[in-house]
A and B are shown apart, each in its own frame.
Chain A
Amino acid sequence: MAALTLEKLTVSFGGLIAVNELDLHIRDGELRCLLGPNGAGKSTTLDLICGKTKPTSGRVLLGNKDITHLEEFKRARAGVGRKFQTPTVFKELNVIENLEIGRSARPGIASTLRVFRTPVSGRIREVLSLVGLEGEMFTKAENLSHGQTQWLELAMLLMQDCQVILMDEPTAGMTVQETNQTAALFRELQGDHTMIVVEHDMAFVRDIADIVTVMDSGSLLAEGNIAEIESNAAVREAYLADVGDDEHA
């Protein structure tokens, strides 16, 4: 069954068509990588799925449920989680408090008024050790390193435990070692969660992707496994050749 379906999804900003009749079917538990040159509409696609941007036309289906016109917080409750390109955590809150915000299974006022402490056990303890922030529980997020901030946002998404997780360049600014750890984490999530990952790091994409979708100028350019994509002439022309150069530079 498809966990997430985009049907002819289109958005234009004052005449500029950022995403053009995009069709996407993502299976339950799949890890889909979204590639494309800058301005191809990858981040905008994620924005359309999580509700940050409203589409001009087309539909977004989560399972069988049409979420095209749902408000952001309702989509989040329905099971769409989002990690932003620049790590977006709450800088004035400490690590535990950030995770408590992430732990949003019961987001209503009636329930949150009754919660007074974060139990540092069970899932929170697990997630903390998974992202290596056990020693930083009471550190304010603004005092974390860039890599740690990325991990904190990932940890918040793990606490949120969404069915579909949208990741915008999750390894940006990470060291090679941190990137490898992230890949390991993603493989762990694979199967239980459906993930869409926008990523430029080809080594990382080869490491994790089930199926790769390549976008160019807002449209779908190619779709297939990594070998098919890398041998696709149109893709090479639009994108991969450039990346290859970048990697050697």
Chain B
Amino acid sequence: MNKGFSIDCIGYAMFAVFILLVMPWMVDYSGYELNTYARYLALGMAAAALALSWGTAGLLNLGQALTFGIGAYIMAMHLKLKASASQAGGLPDFMVWTNMEELPWFWEPFHSVGITLAAGVLVPVGIAGLIGGFMFRGRITGVFVAIITLSLMLAVQLWMIAEQQFTGGQNGLTGLASLELFGWSVDIYTVAFYYLVAGCLMVILTLALLLVRSKAGLVLRAIKADPERVRFFGYDVARYEVLAFSISAGIAGVAGMFYAMVLEFASPTYMGLSLSLAFVIWAAVGGRESIVAATLGGIGVNMAEGRLSDLFFDQWTLILGVIFIVVVLFLPRGLFGLVMDFREKLEDFYRNKTTASTASAMESNPVSAIDQGGDK
């Protein structure tokens, strides 16, 4: 538990430099380009959310896009209401077309920014807590978690498409206003907006890192390895699993809110199969064991897609599939695993060199050697 923290911090610091300094510099601080990068950050955040439940606790949530989509819709509902303020009765346009008389009750709270922002996190957390509570108390694990989360997401997506008068149906929520935070009207094509997203991402990654590095994170890693054994040490496994599952959902909710802002609409594709599976691929490519690596996976794959999809067009999906297969076959721990293997080799090399020369010194005073190890 003590070891490895410093490596985390180095990786984290490098990541901070990359998204706070290098990425804006790469596009010459152009607000328009940074809007695209802000989208990558939001998607990277979703990959981080998946890594938290999948990589840390071993719970593969194939329906991660459900909570992502809910976050997006919650933000879009607020912005849609703002955009519809001048309409008769403040009704969004699609409601008028579908002959709705008045605003449904569950739309009412989203007039308020505060409630919207809180709901964007808490509703996903609550839903995940409920689903997770049922699943994990029932000791559902492994592939069954994946199947249940996937089918729940698709069911909700179908409902969203069907209930057009409430949700905008297949088209989703379009024609959104811009968010107003404490009197600041958020222009998504500015450097400031990019730093808002980047700042939130850094805060979320910091909190996630604290969770993973705490003893609770250790228990989650133990659960990933052998949930049965963990129970016999007195840990309430289901509760820990619900914790990881719902925090992950909360992060996905935040990512979804930013995503709706960046793209200026929310649609049922946000809780669709292909996006949900894409999260899995990004996390796998970056390395699901590390939240920062998974985030980088999300950002990196999307950057590559941005560059390459112009060149390859439809074949991009195929390329993405090939990348995933290559990663699964040859890099089961993702690019992060590659880095860690390299580090271990380096350490071994270094150790062999030093033990050869200091073996006698170590033997004469083993206690001090252990003390040094313990203080790390």
Contact = CB atoms under 8 A, between A and B. Distances in A.
Given A90-B222, A135-B366, A137-B370, A97 B229 contact: no
A86 to B, nearest CB: 11
B30 interface: no
B337 to A, nearest CB: 13
Report the contact-size class of chain A (Cβ under 8 Å from the partner): 35 or more
Contacts of A135: 366, 370
Interface centre among A50, A84, A107 (most CB of B within 10 A): A107
Contacts of B41: none
B233 A102 contact: yes
B225 interface: yes
A120 interface: yes
Interface centre among B230, B373, B374 (most CB of A within 10 A): B374
A207 B172 CA distance: 75
A54 to B, nearest CB: 13
B3 A138 contact: yes
Interface string B258-280: 00000000000000000000000
Nearest to A157: B233
A116 to B, nearest CB: 6
A159 to B, nearest CB: 9
Contact of B226 (A90, A96, A116): A90
B225 A118 contact: no
Contacts of A220: none
Interface in B120-173: none
A50 B222 CA distance: 19
B230 A101 contact: yes
A118 B213 CA distance: 12
Contacts of A117: 1-2
Interface centre among B1, B215, B236, B237 (most CB of A within 10 A): B215
Nearest to B219: A112
Contact of B373 (A74, A107, A112, A137): A137
A160 interface: yes
Given A82-B232, A91-B225, A97-B221, 11 more contacts: A52-B232, A73-B232, A73-B237, A74-B234, A81-B232, A88-B226, A107-B233, A109-B216, A112-B214, A112-B219, A117-B1
Contact of B219 (A77, A101, A120, A156): A101
B243 to A, nearest CB: 6
A104 B234 contact: yes
Nearest to A160: B233
Contacts of A108: 236
A52 B139 CA distance: 13
Contacts of B216: 109, 112-113
Interface string B362-376: 000010001101110
Contacts of A72: 231-232
Interface in A197-240: none
A102 B374 CA distance: 18
Nearest to A84: B229
Interface in A116-134: 116-121, 134
B179 interface: no
Judged by DSSP, the binding face of B is helix
A77 B239 CA distance: 15
Nearest to B374: A120
Interface string A148-163: 0000000010001000
A88 B232 CA distance: 11
A101 B218 CA distance: 8
Contacts of A91: 225
A70 to B, nearest CB: 11
Contacts of A100: 1, 215, 218
A112 B235 CA distance: 10
B211 interface: yes
A183 interface: no
B240 interface: yes
A137 B243 CA distance: 29
B126 to A, nearest CB: 17
A29 B202 CA distance: 53
A97 B218 contact: yes
A132 to B, nearest CB: 12
B218 A93 contact: yes
B295 to A, nearest CB: 22
Contact of A97 (B1, B226, B371): B1
A115 B214 contact: yes
B222 A93 contact: yes
Contacts of A134: 366, 370
B1 A118 contact: yes
Contacts of B243: 109
Contacts of B373: 120, 137-138
B236 A107 contact: yes
A92 interface: yes
Nearest to A91: B225
